[in-house]
Amino acid sequence: MLMEDFGATSLDLLLNQKRFSLEQLLDIVIKVMEGLDEIHYAGIIHKDINPSNIVMNPDTGQVKIIGFGIASSIKNGETGCNNSNIVEGTLAYIPPEQTGRTNQTIDHRADFYSFGATLYELLAHKPPFSRIDHMDLIHCHLAKDPIPLSSIRSDIPEVLSQIVLKLMSKDAEERYAAAKGVKADLQKCLDRVKKGEHAFSFPLGDEDSHRSLKIDQKLYGRKKEIELLQSGFQQVLSGKKKLVFIAGPAGIGKTFLIQEIEQYFLKKNSIFIMGKFNLLQQTVPYTGIIEAFSQLSRHLLTRSDRDLDKWQKKISAILGNQGYEIIELVPEFKKILGPKSPVSGLDGQEARNRFYLMIENFLSVFAGKNHPLVVFLDDLQWVDPSSLELIKQIVSSPFIESIYIIGAFRDNEVVPEHPLQTMLESLIKEEVEYESIRLAPLDSSSVSQLISECLTCPLEKARPLSQWIHTRSLGNPFYAGELLSALNEQKKLIYDISQRMWTWDLMEIQALSLPESITKLLAKKIQGLSQQTQNILMLAACIGTMFELS
């Protein structure tokens, strides 16, 4: 990108050269937000807002945003999930969803988090989190709240401090929805400061709304289930092992429930890893467990040298010369364990027992009261018998404490003769404790809340539409969201810019001929893509649930 030289200097340099008044800083950041609004309206996420990427001509006051090296184009306000191992962005300002450690979608609100961290530094003269170690810094963005600005500087109005905290919410749903909403609140602050006021307040986000439909990444109607999972985790913190199964049909929110509570685990200093079983690899042993162990290896390899050395010593003290099978499962562990030789002379059940013992000893290193291990295994309806036997060994092991194994499966696909059902029956016979949580369809009030928040309208206005969606979706949250998207794509949901509200005609919606099932609705959506894209998707489906685009 070629940009003209308009005599500008980056804000990080200007901050070192002169002190800005609160009024001057507010004027600058309002201009930044105007620029960010233009960027988002053009369908772009910047992904690296920080003081060095904001430039200003100190004589004219003109402000521009630069540094589009990792920017992404967006459609309908969304990009895909960031499951990359590569962290893009500047760590001091990076939003949680951009670290690769969460399953949240990266959208335009990632820029609001980085802007909030930038505003924090402009006002406090230091970034929100000051850590030398990169992993500690990432952990702060994932699990810690910054010290409120009003506690650092007495001349900063409390409401401005609240704006920054809202921008820096860990959950994107709790941030502002649109740049115009941020600008409006900052402008109110500037107007009051110009009048010489200091102690003032107003409700945040009164003028905050987004022009494109955004399906909230938020959990609805699952308070009881979250409390059950948190209660189980408290037992793990006291040194117990815990096994929980979450059942329900596809789209009911099993995976999303765990993603929602993941931050709770991380705040308690736990190590969280997850693996997913695959329909096309049911005959391959340990696929989901290997994926979870791969995450564990990445967790270690991205620590500081000092931390990694500490873990290596702990593992060596437990395993000694053992560990060859772990490297066979997850080759990345060779960098951590060093070269290992296979043990000869064992076969059959003897070799299997030795393998189980080694895995138990290995996991005992990571599962402790000070750092419990949480293992989430998804799609157990496609699990292999070897994995089930290993899970059973782990929860029965006398060597492991403070481990929380959570398994999720589609109960409508687990028939009586399914290996998982056989395992559950054997756990009961052997008096091995486990808990079951079944996710029921959302009730009509939860769907009404979902629709009301997506369309930013009162519950009463949303209720007739939400009742239609609840009936069509049978209370399945994924299906409800897809129905809402389908209505938007067919221009049955219109955003009225003058009134700043969504409008629709329920009679027109009821007359629509939409597919009667989620499968057919998604099939129709895929058929609307170009033939080349459809071909790529078919190839990708053969590879698995995750693949490199190239």
Do 332 and 230 contact (CB within 8 A), yes or no?
no
240 sits in the region (left: phi over 0; alpha: psi -120 to 50; else beta) called: beta
Which pair of tokens denotes residue 143?
């699990």
**Confidence (pLDDT) at 89:** 83
Rg (CA), the chain: 26
**Confidence (pLDDT) at 221:** 93
- Show Cβ contacts of residue 357 under 8 Å, excluding neighbours closer than 6 positions: none
Do 289 and 377 contact (CB within 8 A), yes or no?
yes
pLDDT digits (tens, 9 = 90+) for 69-110: 999 887 544 444 444 456 778 899 999 998 877 767 788 999
- Show Cβ contacts of residue 512 under 8 Å, excluding neighbours closer than 6 positions: 487, 490, 492
Q: In what order do the strands lie in the sheet with 403-409?
A: 271-276, 373-378, 403-409, 242-247, 435-438
Whether pTM exceeds 0.75: no
pLDDT digits (tens, 9 = 90+) for 121-150: 999 999 999 877 788 888 889 888 999 998
**Confidence (pLDDT) at 78:** 44
The number of CA neighbours under 13 Å toward the Cβ of 172 is: 26
The number of CA neighbours under 13 Å toward the Cβ of 204 is: 17
Q: CA-to-CA distance for 480 and 325, rounded, in angstroms?
A: 45
pLDDT digits (tens, 9 = 90+) for 349-363: 888 888 999 999 999
What residues are paired with 436 via a beta bridge? Answer: 245
Q: CA-to-CA distance for 336 and 342, rounded, in angstroms?
A: 17
**Confidence (pLDDT) at 77:** 41
Collapse the DSSP code of 45 into the 3-class scheme (helix H, G, I; strand E, B; otherwise coil) and give the result.
strand
Collapse the DSSP code of 271 into the 3-class scheme (helix H, G, I; strand E, B; otherwise coil) and give the result.
strand
**Confidence (pLDDT) at 211:** 64
**Confidence (pLDDT) at 380:** 97
pLDDT tens per residue across all 550 residues of the chain:
677 888 899 999 998 888 889 999 999 999 999 999 999 988 899 999 999 999 999 989 999 999 999 998 875 444 444 444 567 788 999 999 988 777 677 889 999 999 999 999 999 999 999 877 788 888 889 888 999 998 998 889 999 999 999 999 998 888 998 899 999 999 999 999 999 988 899 999 887 776 677 777 788 999 999 999 999 999 999 999 999 999 999 999 999 999 889 888 988 889 999 999 988 888 899 999 999 999 999 889 888 888 899 999 999 999 888 888 899 999 999 999 888 888 766 677 888 888 999 999 999 999 988 889 999 999 999 999 999 999 999 999 999 999 999 999 999 999 999 999 999 999 999 888 999 999 999 999 999 999 998 888 899 999 999 999 999 999 999 999 999 999 988 889 988 766 778 899 999 999 988 888 888 989 988 998 999 999 998 988 888 777 777 7
**Confidence (pLDDT) at 9:** 92
**Confidence (pLDDT) at 1:** 67
